[in-house]
Amino acid sequence: RALVRPESLDVLGGRLEAWEIAKELADDRPFFGYGFGTEEIIFPYFRYKFQRHSGAYVHNSFLGLALQLGWVAAIIFYLAFIIFLIRSYIKLSKLKGEFQPLTVALYSSVLSGFLTTFFESWLYAVGGIMSFTFFCCLMLLIRLLDFQKAAIQSTHVRNLR
């Protein structure tokens, strides 16, 4: 089995076909979707036959969330995450000290993981190694940013005295 199939690059390995159908289905139920955990059964349920897409998943976590929970939930989740990434970047740009390299590495891991969610459906995969690793990095990043914020504030208070 080839790592890259040149004949399917123009349609992203069949993903475009799945994305179009997922968008249409999500548009039919924009507020509540079809229910969490239905992504792998939704295409067979509606008897979709793909020309190039193989598999039962959308291969896009954003569209998968919209399909399962509705556009409102997917947009709220992704907007909150984008705001978190922007605020974290601002905090990260002000950091100095021994934990800065680790914080940058964690931020980079979380950012790259977030970007891959537009091409894979692992974000909400229960028990998946990708989602486990991603959320571990995310929680470590949150904790490390909070720890460094507390350290900066205590240093600032000591300097004021």
The residue type found at 52 is R
Distance, C-alpha 42 to centroid of its chain: 21
The residue type found at 21 is I
* CB of 89 closer than 8 Å to CB of 107: yes
Spell out the per-residue pLDDT of the chain, length 161, in tens.
555 555 545 556 667 888 888 899 999 999 999 998 888 888 778 777 766 666 667 888 999 999 999 999 999 999 999 999 999 999 888 887 788 889 999 999 999 999 999 988 888 887 788 899 999 999 999 999 888 776 655 655 556 65
Task: Please give the Cα distance from 108 to 42 (Å, whole number).
Answer: 33
The reported pTM is: 0.78
